[in-house]
A and B are shown apart, each in its own frame.
Chain A
Amino acid sequence: MKVFKLWLDPKKCKGCLRCELACSFHKSGHKFFNPELSSTTVSRSNENKKIIMKIDDTCDFCENEDAPLCVKYCVFGARGAIK
């Protein structure tokens, strides 16, 4: 699936970081998990719950995957793909 853009919705994000795990799984060639390598980052403030979501320019929109893995493994509807 060719994806050209990802959208993010911090209001729906719960801060579980499954997107970061999924991204690192893709970037490692399906070998390991390491949020540090993720092209997308999520931070949740412990002061006020404010969520900040980002995607950097190392994102390849999950080339060669059926769908972007960060979208597939977000169960809260906080991100999606635009073809």
Chain B
Amino acid sequence: MKKTSDKHYGYAGNILRINLTDNKIWIEPTEKYANRWIGGRAINTWILLNELDPEVKWNDPQNLLTFGVGVLVGTLAPGACRISVDTKNVFNDGIGSANVGGFFGAELKFAGFDNIVISGKAKNPVYIWICNGKIEIRNADSIWGKTTWETEREIRQNLNDEKIRVAAIGPAGENLVKSACIIADRGCAAGGSGCGAVMGSKNLKAIAVRGKRSIEVAQPDRFMIAVDKEMGKINKWQLINEIREKGYYGAMGGRLDSPSWEQGYRPVRNGQDEHWGKDKIAKIAEQEIKKYRKATVACFSCPISCKPWMDIKEGPYKVQGEGWWNNSANSYCTKIDNTNLEAAIYAHLLTNQLGLDGDNAAQAISWAFECYEKGLITKKETDGLELVWGNYQVMIEMLKKLAYREGFGDFLADGALKAAEKLGKNSEKFVIHVKGQDSLDGIRINKGWGFGIILSPVAGRHLRGSLNGFWLRSDRPINSYENVPEDIYYNQKKKAVQDMLGLCSYVYGQTVDDWVELFSSATGRLLSKDELLHIGLQTHNLEKAFNTIHAGFDRNDDYPCKRYYNEPVKSGPYKGEHIDHEIWDRMLDTIYRLHGWDIETGWQTRKGLEKIGLNDIANKLEKENRLK
């Protein structure tokens, strides 16, 4: 890699290390990792892969919880606000990875740090206070037990600064609920992989940050030209004004005429179907949601403002706060067959307060609803609750029980697969999971969506390589298998680069060429498009290796759950669609070949890893007898 200067432009320059067992705090230069791994997710993954013993479980003090801010965060690069949170996945001990926007990441860089690596476990509840390079580990007794919103409010009041940014866990993380997430800035979730439970296992309630330092770029005028070019594309986007007014759901996924309702993004009744009736859609679509949308708001340095601010002014669901996503319509509406929109909005904002990831939590709850429907559980097991489709009051009650591990909530708190193991009665066949993690998505119709979700090392996340997101307006037939492995192979590399740079997926019109220009002018490092994508490919392979070593995954873990083969879509224009097992097998062969992985086992090979410059990872896998 060529550099125009030895100075680390674009970076804060430091990685903060904290061991909560002995309160040891030390700092490493970011440069130690950045020359090879750029930033954000890739640096986190490299540290996890090299420092974690495979015997360490997610809730052991030795587990590491890492926060990695993207390289472009803290600048005017459009949508540069994202942090990658990486750790051991609580559902399967493989790689856990969550990506979150808001303001916390930028503040962390202005406070002097690109990454935080937390090890150990505090004796009593604590929170970390990072202020302009100074670090304090503070007692958290007064905020332990409180919601994420109360936590932010109290920390700001106690430290007397309303500009402090807070990433916190709620009761769910404290109670080690596997669907617990970390909430930044009250409305932004680092969701999936149970990152909030890992944080709770360390007795770490929150990280509070305030920064006043500068982020210097290497070639400022060239950088601003690249920014202006991006802005030009965004401002010419035909949907931009509508999105700024209504947010992503209102302008795209939640429109009555959106393809999202028909193309399988929204599983119905725990995935029994992937199509919902128009009469029901009409009750939660844009014409209804707008009644509760006060405005839209933006993350740091975002020119889109996709997030609606919701405000229910009266009644049992009176609440206001940031957020209602496309996912929310799945989790709190279609999966439970609920059309009460006020209850659904309330549920979304409740999960933010409790520190629950809506995608994971709603999946476990909808599995329980189906078990109730099938007679596998009764009111005797559910604390008297009637888990009948559409019962939104029970859905909300279940979210609370889940977060506090109360009664039947405790039964579900380790995820649906574990609950099914306890229940027996063949109830596991109704669990929608990927590699053991409760999964949000329907995948029978949209093959490019599904293959990316199942192949994601982060156990079922649709932003890690999937094709055909409805916002992409692809010309590809939605149910086609054609070129799916080839295109996902490319997207896997591209998304890893996006996460190193800290850019939001929802910023329109970004190309890798644009990223090359932004990255090069910000950092002074002269990397080509192919070199950047190559590091993206390596990062994907780090995560794959982590899964092989730590979770023992192989080819068998790259298939969807059986429901998606055996039960075709029941209604709508794609009635009859399902996953074809033979074609899926051929797609696996193809993507393994592209990666240079072993066809039979799905494991990485020495030849494949050496070809992409990961000889050290090949040696590591060989030592664990997991290399072909």
Chain A residues in the interface with B (C-beta under 8 A): 14-18, 21-22, 24-25, 28, 30-37, 43-44, 46-49, 73, 75-76
**Residues 125-168 (chain B) with a chain A CB within 8 angstroms:** 149, 152-153, 162-163
User: Once the chains are docked, how many angstroms separate the CA of A37 from the CA of B214?
Assistant: 9
**Residues 321-335 (chain B) with a chain A CB within 8 angstroms:** 321-322
- B residues within 8 A CB of A22? 76
A73: nearest residue on chain B (CB-CB)? B76
- B residues within 8 A CB of A73? 76
Instruction: Name 19 extra pairs, CB < 8 A, besides A31-B216, A31-B217.
Output: A14-B244, A15-B297, A15-B298, A16-B298, A16-B299, A16-B301, A16-B305, A17-B301, A30-B220, A30-B224, A32-B214, A32-B217, A34-B213, A36-B110, A37-B214, A49-B294, A73-B76, A75-B235, A75-B303
Cβ-defined contact, B220 with A76, below 8 A: no
User: Once the chains are docked, how many angstroms separate the CA of A47 from the CA of B149?
Assistant: 9
Cβ-defined contact, B217 with A33, below 8 A: yes
Cβ-defined contact, A36 with B212, below 8 A: yes
Cβ-defined contact, A46 with B296, below 8 A: no
Cβ-defined contact, B301 with A18, below 8 A: yes
B163: nearest residue on chain A (CB-CB)? A43
A-B pairs with beta carbons under 8 Å apart, 26 shown: A14-B295, A14-B297, A14-B298, A14-B302, A15-B298, A16-B299, A16-B300, A17-B301, A21-B76, A21-B301, A22-B76, A24-B214, A25-B220, A30-B221, A31-B220, A33-B217, A34-B212, A34-B213, A36-B110, A37-B214, A46-B152, A49-B295, A49-B309, A49-B320, A73-B76, A76-B305
Cβ-defined contact, B76 with A16, below 8 A: no
B253 → chain A, closest Cβ, in Å? Answer: 20
User: Once the chains are docked, how many angstroms separate the CA of A28 from the CA of B149?
Assistant: 35
Cβ-defined contact, A34 with B110, below 8 A: yes
Cβ-defined contact, A33 with B322, below 8 A: no
User: Once the chains are docked, how many angstroms separate the CA of A44 from the CA of B301?
Assistant: 14
B457 → chain A, closest Cβ, in Å? Answer: 32
User: Once the chains are docked, how many angstroms separate the CA of A42 from the CA of B45?
Assistant: 35
User: Once the chains are docked, how many angstroms separate the CA of A22 from the CA of B185?
Assistant: 22
Size bracket of the B interface: 35 or more
- B residues within 8 A CB of A36? 110, 211-212
- A residues within 8 A CB of B74? 33
- B residues within 8 A CB of A48? 320
B162: nearest residue on chain A (CB-CB)? A43
User: Once the chains are docked, how many angstroms separate the CA of A39 from the CA of B586?
Assistant: 59
Cβ-defined contact, A34 with B214, below 8 A: yes
Q: Knowing A18-B76, A18-B303, A21-B76, say if A33 contacts B214 (CB, 8 Å).
A: yes
- B residues within 8 A CB of A28? 214
- Tell yes or no: B549 within 8 A of A by CB: no
- Tell yes or no: B215 within 8 A of A by CB: yes
- A residues within 8 A CB of B103? 17
A18 → chain B, closest Cβ, in Å? Answer: 6
> CB-defined interface of B17-58 with A at 8 Å, one 1/0 digit per residue?
000000000000000000000000000000000000000000
User: Once the chains are docked, how many angstroms separate the CA of A24 from the CA of B221?
Assistant: 14
A2 → chain B, closest Cβ, in Å? Answer: 22
User: Once the chains are docked, how many angstroms separate the CA of A25 from the CA of B522?
Assistant: 13
- Tell yes or no: B312 within 8 A of A by CB: no
A70 → chain B, closest Cβ, in Å? Answer: 11
- A residues within 8 A CB of B526? none
Cβ-defined contact, B76 with A25, below 8 A: yes
- B residues within 8 A CB of A31? 216-217, 220
Cβ-defined contact, B212 with A16, below 8 A: no
User: Once the chains are docked, how many angstroms separate the CA of A43 from the CA of B163?
Assistant: 8
User: Once the chains are docked, how many angstroms separate the CA of A22 from the CA of B205?
Assistant: 34
Cβ-defined contact, A33 with B75, below 8 A: yes
User: Once the chains are docked, how many angstroms separate the CA of A48 from the CA of B294?
Assistant: 10
A57 → chain B, closest Cβ, in Å? Answer: 20
- B residues within 8 A CB of A43? 162-163
- A residues within 8 A CB of B294? 49
User: Once the chains are docked, how many angstroms separate the CA of A21 from the CA of B295?
Assistant: 23
9 shortest interchain CB distances as A-B pairs: A16-B298, A14-B298, A34-B214, A32-B214, A32-B216, A14-B305, A36-B212, A75-B303, A30-B220
- A residues within 8 A CB of B302? 14, 16, 18
- B residues within 8 A CB of A21? 75-76, 301
- Tell yes or no: B231 within 8 A of A by CB: yes
B406 → chain A, closest Cβ, in Å? Answer: 28
- Tell yes or no: B186 within 8 A of A by CB: yes
- A residues within 8 A CB of B153? 47
B510 → chain A, closest Cβ, in Å? Answer: 16
A46 → chain B, closest Cβ, in Å? Answer: 5
User: Once the chains are docked, how many angstroms separate the CA of A8 from the CA of B76?
Assistant: 20
User: Once the chains are docked, how many angstroms separate the CA of A37 from the CA of B216?
Assistant: 13
Cβ-defined contact, B215 with A33, below 8 A: yes
User: Once the chains are docked, how many angstroms separate the CA of A14 from the CA of B216?
Assistant: 25
